[in-house]
Amino acid sequence: MSKAKALGRGLEALLGEMGDAYENELPQHNSVMDIELKHIRPNPFQPRKHFDEASLAELGESIKNDGLLQPVVVTQDIDGFVLISGERRVRASKLVKLKSIRAILINVDEAQMRQLSLIENIQRDELNAIELSEAYQELIKTHNITHDELSHMIHKSRTHITNTLRLLQLSSKTQKALVEKKITAGHARALIGLDDKEQQMMVNSIMGQKLSVRDVEKTIQSMKVLVSKDEDVQGKVEYDFNILKSSLTQLGLHVKIQRNKLIIEFKTQGEIDTLSSIFTK
């Protein structure tokens, strides 16, 4: 059995374990109990970083009035319990001043805890697009599996996984705009391939002019056409660098000509100082 398939089977086992915990609530080796919220520590591997306060308040009132429909999942630690899944439920319960919460207690090690947290958030669609991208990336890297293998395990299309992972190619500022819902995932995907400055320009335009995804795609296409025409014009002009190259070579510099570009390669700091001295005279 290949390493990738073995690791993939491990991920499937984790998926099954989480599913069993929720479906049975009282698996053979686990138990359900009421645990004081003050004794539950947050999951250090929680992939979700953003929690909507209004949504938490609404959930808290629901839990307070109607009870908790589904327990959280925890594992025991030296000084209490560590949350594996259900951080929204824990936060919401604290918000409405509840003292305890129903929890499924399972025995897992740190590596399993990390993976179960990722899987639980993915399956519940509780991650924003960037958090989801990072979760997919970690699962693929940790278990050495392909996009296609992951798609079968978490029941998402391979195209969805690939397109989601591509969002990590965006600049940090563009990713932040997506997380803050200033742009949509459709807008963000259209910006992939642009440099950081171009992305920022388009993000500003989307926000300021309320551009649709189609508007953005048309604008980017027009930008590419203009760049292409500019490159064609530059390609038809041939510059003569020979005299300049000869002068620089006499200074001991390494120079080469490449498609209307003069490239100077510095081998030592002394060569840089030599060229600098010419401009500072």
Show pLDDT as tens, one digit a residue, over the chain (281 residues).
Answer: 444 444 444 555 555 555 554 444 434 445 678 888 888 888 776 666 677 778 788 888 888 888 887 888 888 888 888 888 788 888 888 888 888 898 888 877 777 777 777 776 676 666 788 888 888 888 888 778 888 888 887 778 888 888 889 998 999 999 999 988 899 989 999 998 888 988 998 899 899 888 898 988 888 887 766 555 555 555 556 667 777 777 777 777 787 777 677 888 887 877 777 777 776 65
pLDDT, position 4: 41
Q: Give the C-alpha separation, 224 to 203, whole Å.
A: 17
Nearest alpha carbon to residue 150 among 4, 3, 2, 1: 4
Q: What is the pTM of this model?
A: 0.54
Q: What pLDDT, on the 0 to 100 scale, is given for residue 237?
A: 61
What burial class does residue 267 get, using C-beta atoms within 10 Å of its C-beta: 0-12 exposed, 13-18 middle, 19+ buried? exposed
Burial 85-115 (b: 16+ CB within 10 A, else e): bbbbbbbbbbbeebeebbbbbbebeeebbbb
pLDDT at 7: 43
110 is catalytic: no
Contact 175, 199 (CB under 8 A): no
Catalytic residue among 87, 120, 134, 149: 87
CA distance 12 to 24: 18
Give helix 110-123 / helix 3-24 axis angle, nearest 10°. Answer: 70
- What is the rounded CA–CA span in Å between residue 149 and residue 55? 34
Q: At what angle do helices 158-166 and 129-143 cross, to 10 degrees?
A: 110
Q: Can you tell me the distance from the alpha carbon of 183 to that of 177, in angstroms, rounded to the nearest whole number? A: 6
* CA atoms of 43 and 91, how far apart (whole Å): 12
pLDDT in the model for residue 127:
74
Q: What is the pLDDT of residue 121?
A: 67
